[in-house]
Every structure is written in structure tokens, then in C-alpha cells.
A and B are shown apart, each in its own frame.
Chain A
Amino acid sequence: MTNLLVLKEQLKNFYSKNDAFIIPGLKFLMAFVALLLINGQLGYMSRINSPAIALIAALTCSFLPINLIILIAALFVLLHLYALSIECAIVGLAVFLILFLLYFRFSPKDTAVIILTPLCFALNIPYVIPISMGLIGTPFSTVSVSCGVVVYYLISYVNGNAAALNAMEEESVIQKFRFIIDGMLNNKAMIVAIIAFVIAIVIVYFIRRMSIDHSWTIAIVTGALASLVIVFVGDMVYATQISIIGTFLGCLVSIGIVWVLQFFVFNVDYSRTEHVQFEDDEYYYYVKAVPKITVATPDKKVKKINIQKKPALKQTSVNKK
């Protein structure tokens, strides 16, 4: 256990010293993996369907704010949908526009979730997202997670029905349009996933705020179980034909990943070195504020050491003469 704590402290030190590189590095990694997965799942436009283009776009993204990264990912998706069929592109554009107009209006802090949710779905660890957002977010994160789920199922639906859409070349535009919209609105798996994730986030959020021991661990396990139960019930009711073993294993792996994340990332205050400049009448000040690193363990461990009882002092009678 102490080794893990030491590792945690080392990570904190590493982060404080190198945060200028770590944030762009993480953004680059997220953008690169997201674009590679988009190209892998869709990949209908050959001009952008190469790792080199994904790499260049990801390198650009590493210096951009998260909202622009989401815009670039959405652009990639729309370009691929356009190469497949214009009706797909119109539906995709409508979904993204509604998302940007209504949701991004509030500039929420957790917009990265919209990229991370489809990523985790594609990597078969979807439950990482609702449990993590329950731990570090608020119940309002349900909106961003639901948007992420909708984006994933849009991409997944187009990917699964690309052959059917190609075969419908001769059908009218309206028929193709109806096919895509029906597929989106009647997608029971998507609705079950949204319900499961929303309930998981709310459960995790309320349990981790309770003042009981190990509330975070209990929250993680309860949230995961609740979402599993809802997914299985949804599978029985709507016959969504999901793989039970796959879902169960994915859930277990997600619990493990979230547990590691909550130990190293969520419970820690990663304060950074700051450089500020100001002046007064007499001096110019160039100040470098370095945070003091203290061990901040959330659970206090009380070690009881057996104190040997000191032998009682023998009262020596003093003979008073």
C-alpha cells in the first residue's frame, strides 16, 4: 500500500514539473485515438482515411481547446458520412447542430466526455464513463454522457448499415432519409444505454457524497451493478441482442480502470507551478509559485502499537526517623 502512495506522490511531482507538456500530450492522445477510431469505423472518404492525416490533425488538436477538438472530430465524421451518402451527412449534421446549438451553449466543463464516450464504447469499456462522471462530475453530466452515447450509436448504426445504404442507391432520397432516422429513433440499444448510464451517474454521485467509509468504492461497484442490471433487463424487454458475457467482462474491466483512476487521479489535488507577473510603483515582480506537495490520503489509517505497560513504581517506604 505504501508503494502505491509513494507512486502517487511521484506522479504528483512529475505532473507539477511537466504540466506544460502533459496536457497537450493527453489532448493529442485523445484526438489521435478518436480520429483513428472514426477512420476505422467509418472510413468512407479515402482522402482523410489515413493515419498520417489523423496524426497531423491530432497534432493540431493538442494546442486547441477541447471544444475545437470536438468540432474537428465531428467534421471528420461528417466528411465520412458525406462520402457514404448525402442523406447520412444531413442527418449527422442535424444531430451535431442540435447538440452544438442547445448543449454547447452552456459551455459545460465536461465536453471532453462527448469524445471519450464513443472512444470507450469502441474499446469495449463503456461503463468507465458513467462511473467516472458520477465520481468527478455532477448529475448534469448525464446530458454530456447521453450526447456521447447518441454520437456513438449514430456512428455505429451507419457502420453497421453501410452495405444496406449503398444498396439503396436507386431508392429516393426520402426513403434513405426515413431509413436512417428510423434506425436512430428506434434504436432500443441506444435508449437502454442512455437510461443505464443516467441512473449509474446519479447513483454513483449520491453514494460517493455520503459520509460513510469507502464511499467511493461502494459507489463504483453499485453504479456498475445498477447499469448492468438495467442493460440486462433492457435486453430481455427489447431483445437488443447484446453479448451478456462481453458486457459483464467489459463491466469488470471498467470497474478496475475506474478504481485505478480514482486512486491516482480523482482523489488528488494536482496543483501546478504558476508564473505570475505584476508591478507596483517600486518594483516589477516575477513570481514563481510552487505548490507544496503534501501527502493527502483520504482514509486515515490508525496504527495501534502495543504499548508495553510500564511496571508500576514500587513505593519505597521511607522510614522517617
Chain B
Amino acid sequence: MLNQERIILMTKMASYEENEGKKNVAIGGYFRGDYISLQLIRSVINGTLAYFIIVGMYVFYDFEVFMQEIYNMDIMAFGKGLIVRYLITVGSYSVLSYIVYSYRYSKAKKSLKCYFNNLKKLSKSYEREGK
């Protein structure tokens, strides 16, 4: 026989699975450490690419001056300056990514907790009927 309460619960869960649930299940499938590390690695790659583009534009902008000074300037100091700026840029971008993705992970987990509670409710409802 059709149990109306159960059908309403299943409908809400199916609707969740089709909409927000897809993203949340994908996030919830990872352990917290794994998820955040994966996102941080991708952020570091993106940050590095963006930094190289900005440095490229800067060098190209001052290209003539750069070409003239390249033999006179201290390559080590210039390289050190580049690396320090790189670490600061990518470091701050990684901190920002860490904050954003930890927040997203905890939100996804909270939402999935609701969903799993509903699953338990559903399972109990079937067990009760089975008895």
C-alpha cells in the first residue's frame, strides 16, 4: 500500500539529490583533509599561472629598460625579489582558498547530515512496515 508520509519524504530527498545534493555529495565523498588539499593544489597552480602572466606583462611593459639593465643588474637579487613576491601572492591566495573551501566543506557536510538523517528515517519506516 502507498504510505503518503514516506512518499513525501522520498520526494523531498529525490528533489534534494537532483538539485543541491549533486554538489554536496561530490564534496562529501572526500575526507576534509583530502578535499582541502586538492583544492589548495589547484589554487596554487592557478595562482602560479596568474603570477607568471602578471610578471610577463610587467617585463614586456618595461622591456627596453629591462633589456638594457639585464647585464648590469644583480640577477640573484632580482630573482630573490621575484620569488618573495611569488610566495606572498600565492600564499595569500592559498589562505583565501583554504578559508573558502573549508567553509564550503562544512556547509556541504551539514546539508548531507540532514539528508542522511532522512535516509535513516526512511529506512526505519520500511523496517516498521516489514514487521
Contacts and interface: CB of A to CB of B under 8 A. Distances in A.
A278 B14 contact: yes
A101 B50 contact: yes
A178 B11 contact: no
Nearest to A279: B10
A98 B54 contact: yes
A269 interface: no
A56 interface: no
A66 to B, nearest CB: 16
B86 to A, nearest CB: 14
Contacts of A105: 42-43, 46, 97
A237 interface: no
A101 B18 CA distance: 29
Interface stretch (B30-38, B56-64, B77-85, B108-116): B56-64
Contacts of A181: 57, 61
A276 B46 contact: no
Nearest to A180: B61
B63 A174 contact: yes
A21 interface: no
A102 B15 contact: no
Given A105-B42, A174-B64, A283-B2, A278 B50 contact: no
A97 B42 contact: no
Interface in B5-30: 7, 10-11, 13-15, 18
Interface string B41-75: 01100110110011011001101100000000000
Contacts of A294: none
Nearest to A102: B50
Contacts of B2: 283
A102 B97 CA distance: 10
Interface residues of B, number: 26
A305 B23 CA distance: 52
A94 interface: yes
Contacts of B61: 177-178, 181
Interface residues of A, number: 21
A285 B11 CA distance: 9
Interface string A257-290: 0000000000000000010111010010101010
Contacts of A285: 7, 10-11
Given A98-B53, A105-B46, A174-B63, A278 B10 contact: yes
B100 interface: yes
Contacts of A178: 61
A102 B50 CA distance: 7
A276 B63 contact: no
B93 interface: yes
A215 to B, nearest CB: 26
14 contacts: A94-B57, A101-B46, A101-B50, A102-B47, A102-B50, A105-B42, A174-B60, A174-B64, A177-B61, A178-B61, A181-B61, A274-B15, A280-B126, A289-B11
Interface of A: 91, 94, 97-98, 101-102, 105-106, 174, 177-178, 181, 274, 276-278, 280, 283, 285, 287, 289
Interface of B: 2, 7, 10-11, 13-15, 18, 42-43, 46-47, 49-50, 53-54, 56-57, 60-61, 63-64, 93, 97, 100, 126
Given A105-B42, A105-B43, 12 more contacts: A94-B54, A97-B50, A101-B53, A102-B50, A174-B63, A178-B61, A181-B61, A278-B10, A278-B13, A285-B10, A285-B11, A289-B15
